[in-house]
Amino acid sequence: MRPTRTRVYPDEPAGPFPSPPTTYEDPEGREIVLETLEGDAETAIEALTDMYVQFDPADRAQGIPPTGEDRIRQWLEPILAKGHNVVARHGDDFVGHATLVPDTDDPDSMDEDSDVEWELAIFVLQDYQRGGIGTQLLENLLGAACDAGVSHVWLTVERWNGPAIALYERVGFELCGTESFEQEMSIRLR
């Protein structure tokens, strides 16, 4: 499969980024572990569904996460099956999730992770926001992805969401064209 890219990417790779697991103490003194999501698929989906049902609907972006357990599970299945996933864990509970999904119609025909572009999204439960967990999740996901061979990552963010755009820029994302209501950003890892 030949890489075909439609977006503009920075010339230079960003990073280096930390590889999970990483332990981080948030400003409330809570010990947060950033780790790749492993173990069997059912357990992972259940644990993440428990997190997403608590997600404040006001924090949804561009229609995700969906609401309702069934729709959350349906949405998570392909993300966990085909994507790279890092979670923020506090004790036994997941409090944040960062994910990369391959931007291809046919993920099964993908030979190498470097063949395709990957779309990124990140979610942090309301009670854990504004404490740097988002940045930790983002950096650890990019570290894990880079280790796996991923090179081109993009995301969209609502154009008026200045704080999110600033966070992505600090990590190394650059603006790459705007698609109306959404701003596209991209980063090169390798």
Residues found near another protein in the complex (CB under 8 A): 61-64, 66, 75, 79, 99, 101-104, 119-121, 156, 179-182
Q: Between 84 and 90, whose beta carbon lies closer to another protein?
A: 84
Range list of H helices, 12-149: 41-53, 69-82, 133-148
CB of 76 to another protein, least distance (A): 10
CB of 23 to another protein, least distance (A): 28
The one-letter amino acid at 113 = D
Q: Between 33 and 110, whose beta carbon lies closer to another protein?
A: 110
CB of 114 to another protein, least distance (A): 17
β-pairing, 31-36 vs 117-124, is: unpaired
Q: What angle do CA 81, 85, 86 make, to 5 degrees?
A: 155
Q: Between 96 and 131, whose beta carbon lies closer to another protein?
A: 96
Read off φ and ψ for residue 76, nearest 5 degrees. -75, -30
From CA 113, how far away is CA 125, in angstroms rounded? 29
Q: Between 111 and 179, whose beta carbon lies closer to another protein?
A: 179
CB of 181 to another protein, least distance (A): 5
